[in-house]
Structure 1
Amino acid sequence: MTDPAFLQIRDLTVGYGGNRVLDALSLEVCEGEFVALLGASGCGKTTLLRTIAGFADPSEGEVVLAGSDITRRPPDRRGMALVFQSYALWPHMTVAQTIGYGLKLRRVAKPEIARRVAEMQALLGLEGLQERKPAQLSGGQRQRVALGRALAIEPQVLLLDEPLSNLDARVRLTLRHEIRALQSRLGITAVHVTHDREEAMVMADRIVLIDRGRIAQAGTPDRVYNHPASAFVAAFMGAENVLELRGTVTGEDVHLAAGAANAPAAVPVHGRNLTSGRFEARFRSEAAVLLPADAAPVDGALDLVGVVRTVSYPGGLWRHLVVIGDRDIHVDAAVAHPPGTPVTVRVPSSALFLFDAAPTASPPPSSP
C-alpha cells in the first residue's frame, strides 16, 4: 500500500455568480514535489491556487493536507505561504522587517527572528539590503524579498501565483532557476501557477495542464511535451501546425491516405486511441524538415507538398510560412528558402501527433 499524497484536492468545484470555474477537479501532490499549474487565462488555475490557499471557498470537494481536511480553515491556519504576482510588499517596511513579518505575527522571539531573517537574506542573495525599502530595490530583489517572507515561516506548502510575470526577460530566466534550485534544496512542496509553457517545463517535476476548469493532462514535462493526450494539449505545448488527414488504423499503424497536398504514409499509432476516418494532425515548426520538392520518400514519415510564401529570421533558424493545400504552416530551417520555392515538408512519425478529428456539425434541416 502506497502512502497517501501530501496535498490532496478531491472533486473540487468552485464557481462565481453561476459561472463554474473548477469542475469536480481532483489532484494529488507528493511531499517535496514541484507542480506547475499551466493554462491560458481564465482556465481556472489561479482559482485552484486561491482555493488551496483558502482565499476562495469551494461549493463541493475537499482540500486535504498531510491527512487533515483544511477545506474550511482560514488562510493563516493552513500551513501555507503564498507568493503573489505583484510582490505585495509594504512600502514602509524594510527588507528585514518584511521577511520577519510573518514570524512576528507568530510571536517568535526577537533573536530567532533575527537569525531566520539573516538566513533568508543569505539564501536569497539579499545580504546588505536589510535596511532598504521596496522603492530602493529592483524587480528581482523585490521578488526575492517576497519569497523570503514566505519561506521564513517554514510553510508546509509554498504557493506561487505567477511570481515572475512582472519581471523582464533576463531576470525572469535567472529567477526561475534560482527558485527551482531553492525548492529542491529545501525539499519544500510547491505549487506554481503560470501561463508560460517554457517556465513550467524548466521548473516543475510535474505539469498539470488545465482547460475550462478540468485537468487536460498531468505528467512529467517530457511526457506532456512528447506525448500530448489531446489536440488541445498538443497545441498548447507548441504543436500549432494543424492539418486534416484521412486514414485507416490497422493494428499498431495508421495508414494515411494520399491527399491533394500529401503523399501516403504509414506511421505508428504510438498508443493513441484512434478511429479510422478523419484525423487532426499536429506538429511543431522545429520538428519538420524542409526539403526540395523532388525529395525521395522515406518510411515512417509524412511528406507534404507546398510552396514557401514568406521567410523571416527570428534568430537561430529561418522561419518559413509554407502553403500546404488550403492551410498555412510554419517550418524552421537552417537555410532560407526564397518565397515561391516548391518544397517538401517532411514530418517524422515521432513528431507527428494524430487525434480523431472533431465531428463536423450537421447542417440545419431545410424548410419545407
Structure 2
Amino acid sequence: MKKIFQLTAILFSFLCVAQFGYAQEEQTESLRERLARRQQEQQPQGATVPRLSVRAEKMNETQTKDLSNATWVREVYRVLDLGKGTNAALYYPVEPIGDRMNLFTMIFKLMAQGDLVAYNFLDGREVFNDENKVNFKDVLERLNIPYQQNGNTFIFNEMDIPSNEVLAYYVKEAWYFDQSNSVLDTKTIAICPVLLRQDDFDVISGKYPQFWIPYENLRPYAARMPIMTSDLNNAITKTVDDYFRMRLFEGEIYKTTNMENKILAEKYKTEEELKQAREKIEGELTSFEKSLWVVNDSINPQNTNTKKSNNSKPKTPKASKPKNTSSSPTYSARDRR
C-alpha cells in the first residue's frame, strides 16, 4: 500500500512539472509571433510578392503615359516566344529561387493575394470592366490546381503553378505621337500569358491564352522585380519594367487594330505574304518617325555649288597669246639697229 502511494505521488509530480513546462513554453511565444505563425499557415506556400506602399502607388500614377492628347496612335499586337533570344528572361527561373521568380509566377501570386486584377481573354477584344474580371477560383479550377479556400485566401502548392508551360506572351502596345508635347513614344497597354500544352510525344497540342492584364496595374510590381537579361553579364541591373519600357523583347506582329478586327493570318494566307505584311508594318512605324522632322537643305549651300562644279564638263583651254602691256608699237632687234 505504501509503494502504491509513492508511485501515485511520483506520477502526480511528473504531470505537474510537464504542465508547468508547457505553460512556460507557451508564455515565451509572444502574441505577435502567434499571429505571424497563424498568418503564415494561411498563406500560399513559397515566397510572397511584397505589397505596394502608398508611395509606390503614387509614383506609379506619375509614370502613366496619357494618350488622350495623342494626334496619331497605332495599336500593334505582338507575340513573344520565350524560347527565342532575350525573351527567355521572362521564363527563367522556372521554379522560384529564394525571392527570384519568373513573370508568370509573380502574376499568379499577385492574383492569389488579391493585389492584381485580370480580365477575360475575349476573341479579338479587350474590355477592362467589372463584368470581365477574372475570378481567381476559376483560374485554379481551369488549370486543375488543387487548393483550399479560407475566406478570401487560397492555399495551394507552389509547385502546381504551371510556369513551365507559359512559353509565350501576347503584348499589346501603342505607338503614339503627342503633338502638344512633341513626343513620339511607345506604351505597353496589356500583356497576356499563353500556355502551350504538349502531348505525350512533346508536340504542342494547342495555345491557350489565359487573361489580359493591364500593364499599368502590373508596372509597380514589375519595377521591383530584378531580371537577368544576358548570359555574358550576370549582374542583375534591370527590372521587368525596364525590359518592357526599353523594349528589349523580340516579338512578331500578329495583329494591328483594324475595323474588321482580323489578325494578319486571316488576311494573308501564305507565309511569304504574312512576312511581307509584317515588314511593311514595321517600316510604317519607323517611317512615321522620320517624316516628323524636316531637314533644312539650305544650311550648307556651298556643297551644292561644289556638286554642280564637279558634275559640269571641263572646258578645253584655248591657246594663250602674249599680251601687249604697253601702248607703243613693238620693234624687232633688227629695226632697233
Q: Which bracket does the TM-score occupy, shorter chain normalised?
A: under 0.3
Q: More strand by proportion, 1 or 2?
A: 1
TM-score, normalised by the number of residues in structure 2: 0.20
